[in-house]
Amino acid sequence: MRSVTEILGTKYPLIQAPMSWVTDARLVAAVSNAGGLGVLGPNAGQTEVTDDPMITAERMRQELRKARTLTNRPIGMNILTPEPDQSVADSVFTAALLKMAYEENVHHFAVVGSAHEELFADIIAHDGILIFRPLTPTVAQMRAGERLGADILVATGSDEGGVMPRQDFGTFTVVPAMVDAVSTPVLAAGGINDARGVRAAFALGAQGVYIGSRFLMTEESPMADNAKAAVLKAHFSDVLRVSPTQRSVKTPAALKYAHRYRNNDDTGLNHEISINGGLRPGMLLGDFERGIISVNNGVDTINSLPSVEALIGELMV
């Protein structure tokens, strides 16, 4: 079995998670320059919403080119899988982003969703390195990803920030179960913020780590300064479940969502958060009246704002 660093062409077995609205060229280039794999997430480098797949692809093209002026190391791009019964062509945003990526000779794809035979075959046919993170990790999904040719698999515990799995099993439960189920290298994700978390991931059998929240708390992160300050002040008791699959540091908006969730009024909460801008209002624009601040539940171990280079040096000791 090849090592994660051999597969990725990186110094460290570390991938920066592709977080919607809060990645950009500066952040991902800094990660790649420091020895990890930086990944451009949905709406990377943008502030305005568009529902046009062609505009989305062209904006991503420009951000990718900008990142390549900042690093000559590998850079990845996030791709969301079509629905299981949907073709790639019918998933218009996925199709547009893939077309652009192939034109720009992107080779590292962080694919998130569920195993999709047509999509996987297409990426492999274009010499892509396929990093597959099932939104909800199961043995069946991991084995399907392996069978369809994924180079690396990601096992995510419910400790994570962002959109959580639809099962409440923590990283310490999920990672060893997934490692034991497949032969493909597995990365651990969910609540990993410091070197202790990285060491724990390796002890659980993972061959690398996939980290999101901690990279938002760096000098290069595009997250709003007041959102960074809120995370620095937060403790795990300040992190609220605001929907079946999302959590947030306390903000006025998060408190309203959390009240409804606690009172079993959770129908449509994910959709409502999405149409209200997802992570954009709170995390990118710093508007806490309208937005949430997603973070993993290990927030107590996030207590500084280092450079990306310094952070990776601390993580990978």
Q: What is the pLDDT of residue 265?
A: 77
Q: Which CATH number fits domain 4-219+302-315: 3.80.30.20, 3.40.50.300, 3.20.20.70, 3.30.1540.20?
A: 3.20.20.70
Three-state SS sequence of the chain = CCCHHHHHCCCCCEEECCCCCCCCHHHHHHHHHCCCEEEECCCCCCCCCCCCHHHHHHHHHHHHHHHHCCCCCCEEEEEECCCCCCCCCCCHHHHHHHHHHHHCCCCEEEEEECCCHHHHHHHHHCCCEEEEEECCCCHHHHHHHHHCCCCEEEEECCCCCCCCCCCCCCHHHHHHHHHHHCCCCEEEECCCCCHHHHHHHHHCCCCEEEECHHHHCCCCCCCCHHHHHHHHHCCHHHEEEEECCEEEECCHHHHHHHHHHHCCCCCCHHHHHHHCCCCHHHHHCCCCCCCCECCCCCHHHCCCCCCHHHHHHHHCC
pLDDT of residue 167: 85
Domain edges within the chain = 4-219+302-315, 235-294
pLDDT tens, per residue, the chain with 317 residues: 799 999 999 999 999 999 999 999 999 999 999 999 999 999 999 999 999 999 999 999 999 999 999 999 999 999 999 999 999 999 999 999 999 999 999 999 999 999 999 999 999 999 999 999 999 999 999 999 999 999 999 999 999 999 888 888 999 999 999 999 999 999 999 999 999 999 999 999 999 999 999 999 999 999 999 999 999 999 999 999 999 999 999 999 999 999 999 998 777 899 999 999 999 999 999 999 999 999 999 999 999 999 999 999 999 99
- In angstroms, the CA 217 to CA 248 distance is 15
pLDDT at 207: 98
